[in-house]
Chain A
Amino acid sequence: MVGIIGYGAYIPKYRIKMEEIAAVWGEEAQRIKKGLGIEEKAVPGTDEDSATMAVEAGRIALARAEIDSKKIGACYVGSESHPYAVKPTATIVAEALACGNDTMSADFEFACKAGTSAMQCCMGLVKSNMIKYALAIGSDTAQGRPGDALEYSAAAGAGAYIIGNEKGEILAEIEETVSFSSDTPDFWRRQHAEFPQHGGRFTGLPAYFKHVMGAAQALFEKTGTFARDYDYFVFHQPNGKFPREVAKMLGIEEKKLSPGLVCSRIGNTYSGASLIGLARVLDDAKPGEKIFVASFGSGAGSDAFSINVTDNIVERRKEGMTVEEFIAEKEYLTYGQYVKHRRKLKSL
């Protein structure tokens, strides 16, 4: 048995509304809000980055796991906004979480699914008894070129998961995981380029939908389950529209989708997105319920997980802030302050 023994999310305090960005570029806010399904997005503080958010989410996961952090044998951090091009984020995080020196550490990169890729590796290491516990984190302070469609959605947040294999500790068993990937250039950032580029509508059908549906079908086949067997669905949420369309394709009711859909209130947190969505579901899920998760990373691939919530969740989740508490604690920025926070001026 392999599963989650502790989880935590982190969302920075600052928000910017779609109206504020739209006003600068002479766009219609209502049209953008309707088109993207996003009201406002989370913006990091001036002293926050993917490493600091990963540590904050990791500390909550550790408090919930109730384990000695020295027993963590692997620390993997997935992000597309690692603070350094060369020098791992994972060693900063492992050090700050006091994991000790005998920890396998590495950074993962796969656009928005780097965090779930890290989770799959952790599952393998723990399931094969190579290590006792492993920590997988997805954390991003995503950037969008000023004026680009991405600027309305690219947000910041992190999700951390500690994987273990002892039944008495597992709060949610990961029954199965599969991936579906192919070489699809829908979104990229070249070496030394400051902002990513994307294929516009090409990010939809051949990228997001093909891979998420591919992973979903592969998971259903491998586990012998159907969409109706699951109580919650969490999809990668680059906007509010894509996950809803996937849900429609799979015939999923809104009530099974909406608990794990937080992007309308915090934007697209990239590597953090599906992991924060899962944390939001775990904050409320009851023992015995079944959760479906499918991440998506451009380039492109999707990791799907079938997760069964256990009785341990009730006690474990008492520690630390919930996703809803993070979402509720907010302070709005003007576009000018946002430019400073995201260092969008060359002189910053």
Chain B
Amino acid sequence: MASEALPLSWRRIPERYCLIGNSCENCKTNFFPTRKICPNCRRRGKLADKTYSGKGKVYSYSLVNVVPQGFELDAPYVLAIIELEEGPRVTAQIVDCGEKDVKIGSLVKMVFRKIKEDGDEGVIHYGFKFGLVK
């Protein structure tokens, strides 16, 4: 099975575990994942880390039946674009639900799950997914 490069996965731990993105203190735009430079303010921009609340709503979604390698046990699953309450949109799985349970606009919150395992003996990659708020 294709495994994710360790340093890459490790660098993304703050983003994947705690939803840490950044925000431009100049134009107040929020980014997720982090940006190296603010596209609005360019050199005048001042980026600072921002931890997102993990609350949001479903912007759009799809049921994935034919899944990529490493996601076979989760199939079929709902993959959604989530609009965080602070603005940015993220793509993530919605857990513990079927296609019928999800609507555009459904309220969701971040949950911590296994994303993928590098086979039986490799590293386990953890991170955010989303769960429906009842």
Q: Is A83's beta carbon under 8 Å from chain B?
A: yes
CA distance A43 to B93 in the complex (A): 20
Q: Is B96's beta carbon under 8 Å from chain A?
A: yes
Top 7 A-B residue pairs of the complex, sorted by shortest distance between their CB atoms: A55-B112, A46-B73, A96-B17, A47-B113, A47-B114, A13-B96, A52-B112
CB neighbours (8 Å) of A13 from chain B are 96
Q: Are A51 and B126 in contact (CB under 8 A)?
A: yes
CB neighbours (8 Å) of B17 from chain A are 92, 95-96
A 72-122 contacts with B by CB, 8 A: 83-84, 92, 95-96, 98
Partner pick for B73 among A56, A98, A340, CB 8 A cutoff: A340
Q: Are B134 and A52 in contact (CB under 8 A)?
A: no
Q: Are A47 and B95 in contact (CB under 8 A)?
A: yes
A 29-55 contacts with B by CB, 8 A: 45-49, 51-52, 55
What's the tally of chain B residues with a CB closer than 8 Å to chain A?
18
Count A/B pairs, Cβ under 8 Å.
48
Supposing A52-B113, A96-B112 touch, asked if A83 and B95 sit within 8 A by C-beta, the answer is no
Q: Are B13 and A95 in contact (CB under 8 A)?
A: yes
Partner pick for B74 among A46, A96, A348, CB 8 A cutoff: A46
Q: Is A329's beta carbon under 8 Å from chain B?
A: yes
Supposing A47-B74, A47-B114, A52-B112 touch, asked if A96 and B95 sit within 8 A by C-beta, the answer is no
Q: In terms of DSSP, what is the predominant structure of the interface of chain B?
A: strand
Q: Which residues of A contact B (CB under 8 A)?
A: 13-14, 45-49, 51-52, 55-56, 59, 83-84, 92, 95-96, 98, 329, 331, 340, 343, 348
CB neighbours (8 Å) of B129 from chain A are 47
Partner pick for A98 among B18, B93, B96, CB 8 A cutoff: B18
B 102-131 contacts with A by CB, 8 A: 111-115, 124, 126, 129
B 13-47 contacts with A by CB, 8 A: 13, 17-18
Partner pick for B114 among A14, A49, A56, A329, CB 8 A cutoff: A49
CB distance from A317 to the nearest CB of B (A): 19
CA distance A240 to B21 in the complex (A): 47
CB distance from A179 to the nearest CB of B (A): 31
CB neighbours (8 Å) of B115 from chain A are 47
CB neighbours (8 Å) of A51 from chain B are 124, 126
Interface centre among B112, B114, B129 (most CB of A within 10 A): B112
Q: Are A56 and B111 in contact (CB under 8 A)?
A: yes
Q: 11 A-B contacts, Cβ less than 8 Å apart?
A: A45-B95, A46-B74, A47-B73, A47-B74, A47-B113, A49-B124, A55-B112, A95-B17, A96-B17, A96-B112, A98-B51
Interface centre among B13, B114, B115, B134 (most CB of A within 10 A): B114
A96 (CB) vs chain B CBs: closest residue? B17
Q: Are B95 and A329 in contact (CB under 8 A)?
A: no
CB neighbours (8 Å) of A96 from chain B are 17-18, 112, 126
CA distance A203 to B115 in the complex (A): 37
